[in-house]
């Protein structure tokens, strides 16, 4: 007789406690726990001295990060685990830096998620477009940080070597264009975004080593005609801001200025037909619900229908990094 596994509430309790883990992580990031351990391990007294916390506060934060697998403790000595050292401690040798991303989720996303049920029932009380300039800076830096991997994966595509000029539509800080232009010496780019974000992009690009090969245009991609003269079009994480009708219209606007040999690249949280995989994409639908009146995650099949309607031919769908993937199309 096959033993019956008892049903327990453990999965529910684990999920319900997720906010505690998240807030512990956000707090440790804000208080500089990982940065304090970047150069050398420390005892609790040493960690307290480096962060300016009391010994009790340092213990609570450090032990929580240890329980979550981000810190390691050997006797009375704490050190960053491999993941924390790579992504949360800073330093020139780190392969990535997610500190600004955690700050964005802590300061902007987390408070808004408290109204998820209200947003799903009645729509969001405020939208991401209502952020003040300081909040917009936090959002832009956080999005750039979490999308550094997908941006690098896009820039590594060999087919970009055949392109001459990239139009980065809704290009944010310009990080995707910077990565692509760095990887392909013959490529230049234009970043197009709303005026506030375009201002952030100008500053970000001016401080890069490829500033002379990237232009910035302040415009609304949904209402202003796209500038011509480009043979590659990147729409990275803009589609989830709009409805199917709005997105189809955007694709039609791009098609109107695309040459027969043009290429369209759509990067986002593309899902399976049921909108359940990747898991992160399914969860991100809540992020769009609390911040946007009509944003959502969309499946690859849905996008294929929009492309056909807008005059494009689907070419390929490939992974980028994490839950992000890329749809490639050409004029039909």
Half-sphere exposure of 125 (CA within 13 A, CB side): 8
Query: What distance in Å separates the CA atoms of residue 85 and residue 80, rounded to the nearest whole number?
Result: 6
In the chain, list all ranges with CATH 3.40.50.150: 110-331
Contact of 251 with 268, CB cutoff 8 Å: no
CATH topology of domain 110-331: Rossmann fold (3.40.50)
Which pLDDT does position 3 carry in this prediction?
A: 79
For residue 130, the model assigns a pLDDT of 85
**pLDDT at 48 (0 to 100):** 98
pLDDT at residue 91, rounded to an integer: 77
Q: Which single residue is written with the structure tokens 């264009």?
A: 177
What is the pLDDT, as a whole number, of residue 126?
84
pLDDT on residue 155? 98
What stretch of H or E contains 46?
A: helix 44-51
The CATH code of the domain at 10-94 is 1.10.10.10
Please report, in tens digits, the pLDDT of each residue of the chain (332 residues total). Answer: 777 888 999 999 999 999 999 999 999 999 999 999 998 999 999 999 999 999 999 999 999 999 999 999 998 899 999 999 999 999 776 778 999 999 999 999 999 999 999 999 999 988 888 888 899 889 989 999 999 999 999 999 999 999 999 999 999 999 999 999 999 999 999 999 999 999 999 999 999 999 999 999 999 999 999 999 999 999 999 999 999 999 999 999 999 999 999 999 999 999 999 999 999 999 999 999 999 999 899 999 999 999 999 999 999 999 999 999 999 999 99
Phi and psi based region of residue 229 (left: phi greater than 0; alpha: psi -120 to 50; beta: remaining): left
- Per-residue confidence (pLDDT) for residue 63, from 0 to 100: 97
Q: DSSP letter string over 110-168?
A: HHHHTTHHHHHHH--SS-GGG--HHHHHHHHHHHHHHTHHHHHHHHT-GGGGG-SEEEE
Per-residue pLDDT at 56: 97
Report pLDDT for 53.
Answer: 98
**Contact, 280 vs 268, CB < 8 A?**
no
| 29-57 residues labelled b (16+ CB within 10 A) or e (exposed) | bebbbbbbbbeeebebebbbebbebeeee
* Residue that the structure tokens 């969309």 belong to: 298
User: What pLDDT, on a 0 to 100 scale, did the predictor assign at position 94?
Assistant: 74
What pLDDT is recorded for position 182?
97
- For the chain, helix (H) and strand (E) counts, in that order, are 16, 10
> What tokens appear for 71 in the block?
């810190």
pLDDT, position 192: 98
Of 295, 301, 294, 249, give the one whose Cα is nearest residue 275: 301
- By residue count, the chain amounts to 332
Closest CA to 35 of 61, 5, 11, 7: 61
pTM of the complete model: 0.91
Domain(s) labelled CATH 1.10.10.10 in the chain stretch across: 10-94
Chain centroid, CA 299 distance in Å: 18
Region for residue 32 given its phi and psi (left: phi exceeds 0; alpha: psi -120 to 50; beta: otherwise): left
């Amino acid at each position: 007789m096959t033993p019956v596994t008892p049903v327990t509430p453990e999965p529910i309790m684990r999920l319900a406690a997720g906010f505690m883990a998240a807030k512990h992580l956000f707090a440790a990031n804000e208080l500089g726990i990982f940065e304090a351990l970047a150069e050398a391990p420390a005892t609790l007294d040493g960690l307290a001295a480096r962060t300016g916390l009391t010994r009790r506060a340092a213990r609570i934060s450090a032990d929580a990060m240890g329980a979550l697998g981000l810190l390691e403790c050997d006797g009375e000595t704490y050190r960053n685990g491999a993941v924390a050292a790579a992504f949360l401690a800073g330093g020139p040798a780190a392969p990535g830096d997610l500190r600004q991303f955690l700050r964005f989720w802590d300061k902007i996303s987390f408070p808004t998620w408290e109204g998820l049920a209200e947003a799903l029932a009645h729509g969001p009380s405020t939208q991401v477009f209502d952020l003040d300039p300081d909040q917009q800076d936090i959002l832009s830096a956080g999005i750039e940080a979490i999308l550094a991997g997908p941006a690098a994966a896009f820039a590594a595509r060999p087919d970009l070597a055949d392109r001459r000029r990239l139009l980065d539509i809704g290009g944010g800080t310009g990080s995707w264009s910077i990565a692509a232009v760095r990887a392909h010496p013959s490529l230049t780019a234009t970043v197009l975004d709303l005026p506030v974000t375009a201002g952030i992009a100008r500053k970000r690009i001016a401080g890069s080593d490829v500033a002379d090969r990237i232009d910035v245009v302040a415009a609304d991609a949904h209402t202003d005609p796209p500038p011509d003269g480009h043979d590659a079009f990147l729409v990275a994480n803009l589609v989830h801001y709009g409805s199917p009708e709005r997105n189809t219209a955007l694709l039609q606007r791009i098609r109107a200025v695309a040459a027969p040999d043009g290429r369209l690249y759509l990067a986002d949280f593309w899902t399976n037909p049921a909108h359940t995989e990747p898991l992160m994409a399914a969860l991100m639908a809540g992020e769009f619900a609390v911040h946007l009146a009509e944003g959502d995650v969309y499946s690859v099949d849905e996008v294929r229908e929009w492309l056909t309607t807008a005059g494009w031919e689907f070419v390929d769908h490939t992974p980028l990094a994490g839950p992000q993937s890329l749809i490639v199309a050409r004029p039909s």
